[in-house]
Amino acid sequence: MDWKPAQIGGALLPVSDVDTAVSAFLRTAPPEKRWDVDFSFDWAQADAERLTDGERSAVRFITIIEDHLPGYFAVYEKNFPVDGSVDLDTFAHNRELYHFTIRWAQEEDTHARTLERYQVEAGLADREALRMSLAKEGQQRFDLPYTAAVQFFAYPLVQEKATQIYYQHLRQVVGDPLLRDILVRLSKDEARHFSFFADMVRLYLERYGDAVVDPIREVIADFRMPLADTIRGYWRWALKIADTARYDHTEAYDHLIKVVNRAVDAKSDKVDELVSFVSACRVMRSG
């Protein structure tokens, strides 16, 4: 399958708008507030004996999801290339976006490494066996079948908020204090990532209004969490971790509605329709 860079279609934001969103995101994590795998935790305190079987299963599940970062990052590298395949104005847009994606990738990779380290230090997994297991899952192809640039911000808006919500719920029930600390840090990062994507969707709605409603609606209508089609037994596993800590990714739809409402002062019928549609999805998929 052809993986050559191919700029995604649909309207792009002006470079100045992307710079506004990216700069706001980067300021949310000054150096003194950053954390890392090797120095932010007392790994000797990791203790899987404090976890229930469901909590152990949840840790394994979220490790796989986080570890697929090369696949997630490749989607943006492919659809917003920073090379000679695009014209100068598009390159400038993509280069500005790259300032976000490279930091986002680094932070998500830290999440994956932290959860992998926790499994090993807590006695949940053998290091080499876990490494190869994650490698096997990591080879699975991840893609987003979208045709409009705004969709690549609407999808992670929901996904990042849903992940943040789950980490918050899981933190409330796990028995290991070290794992609670890890989940606090992960959920704060996911909240920051959500804020960036929310800013981007808001800017799209403010600038393009009705023109981006249908693409956003398409994302919500067909939304599936990452790797839902590649992890063997995904839905059975997802239901199991939902029993461990209340989890419903449609909770994130409420946040998309707030973004839409803030973005458009005098909302058109089409934008109103989007808000109503997202609300209906929230009700249907929570039942």
Highest mean pLDDT among 137-146, 158-167, 202-211, 226-235: 202-211
Mean per-residue pLDDT, 64-81:
90
- Residue 148's SS3 state is strand
Specify whether the backbone of 94 is left (phi greater than 0), alpha (psi in -120 to 50) or beta. alpha
pLDDT of 239 reads 52
pLDDT digits (tens, 9 = 90+) for 166-197: 888 889 889 999 999 999 999 999 999 999 99
Under DSSP, the state recorded for 38 is T
Mean per-residue pLDDT, 114-128:
97
Q: Which of the residue ranges 84-93, 154-163, 271-280 would you say has the lowest mean pLDDT?
A: 271-280
pLDDT of 2 reads 46
Domains observed in the chain: 15-29+47-286 (1.10.620.20)
Q: Show the tokens assigned to 258.
A: 């707030």
Q: Which residues contact 269 (CB under 8 A, 6 or more apart)?
A: none
pLDDT digits (tens, 9 = 90+) for 222-266: 777 665 556 565 445 455 555 565 655 566 667 777 777 777 666
Q: How far apart are CA 229 and CA 128, in angstroms?
A: 26
